[in-house]
Chains A and B, each alone.
Chain A
Amino acid sequence: MHMSDGLLNAGTSVLFGAVAVIGVAVAMAGSRRDLDDRTAPLAGLVAAFVFAAQMLNFPVLPGVSGHLLGGALAAILVGPWVGALCVTIVLVIQSLLFADGGLTALGANVTNMALIGTVVGYVVAVALRGLARRSRAGLVGVAFVAAFVNTVVASAGFVLEFAIGGDAGGVSFGGVAGTVLGVHCLIGIGEGVITALTVGAVASVRPDLVYLLRGNEKPLEIREGARHE
Chain B
Amino acid sequence: MSDAKRRGLTVFFAGFAFVALVLAGAVSYLADSDPDGLDHATQKGCTVSEVDGKEQLDGQCVAQSAKDHALADGPMADYKPGGSDGLTGLAGVVGVVATFAVAGGLFWLLRKRSDRPEPSSET
Contact = CB atoms under 8 A, between A and B. Distances in A.
Interface stretch (A15-23, A114-122, A125-133, A171-179): A171-179
Given A45-B20, A48-B100, A59-B32, A98 B107 contact: no
A89 B99 contact: yes
How extensive is the interface on chain A, given as a class? Answer: 35 or more
Nearest to B31: A57
How extensive is the interface on chain B, given as a class? Answer: 35 or more
A56 B28 contact: yes
> Dominant SS at the A interface?
helix
B66 A179 contact: no
Contacts of A40: 104, 107-108, 110-111
**Interface-centre pick from B31, B103, B114, B115 (highest chain A CB count, 10 A):** B103
Contact of A7 (B65, B76, B88): B65
B16 A45 contact: yes
B34 A65 contact: yes
Contacts of A162: 62
Contact of B44 (A3, A99, A176, A187): A176
Interface string A139-181: 0000000000000000100100010001111110001100110
A89 B102 CA distance: 7
A45 to B, nearest CB: 5
Interface string B72-92: 101011110000000010011
A32 to B, nearest CB: 6
Given A7-B66, A33-B112, 6 more contacts: A45-B100, A58-B32, A94-B95, A98-B78, A102-B69, A155-B37
Interface of A: 1-7, 28, 31-33, 35-53, 55-61, 63-67, 82, 85-86, 89-90, 92-100, 102-103, 155, 158, 162, 166-171, 175-176, 179-180, 183-184, 186-187, 202, 205-206, 209, 222-223, 226, 229
Interface of B: 1-2, 5, 8-9, 12-13, 15-17, 19-21, 23-24, 27-28, 30-38, 40-42, 44-45, 60-72, 74, 76-79, 88, 91-92, 94-100, 102-108, 110-112, 114-115, 118, 120-121
28 contacts: A3-B38, A4-B63, A7-B66, A32-B110, A41-B13, A43-B107, A44-B100, A44-B103, A44-B107, A44-B108, A48-B97, A49-B16, A51-B20, A52-B19, A52-B92, A52-B96, A55-B28, A55-B79, A85-B103, A93-B95, A97-B76, A98-B79, A103-B69, A169-B61, A170-B60, A171-B45, A179-B40, A184-B37
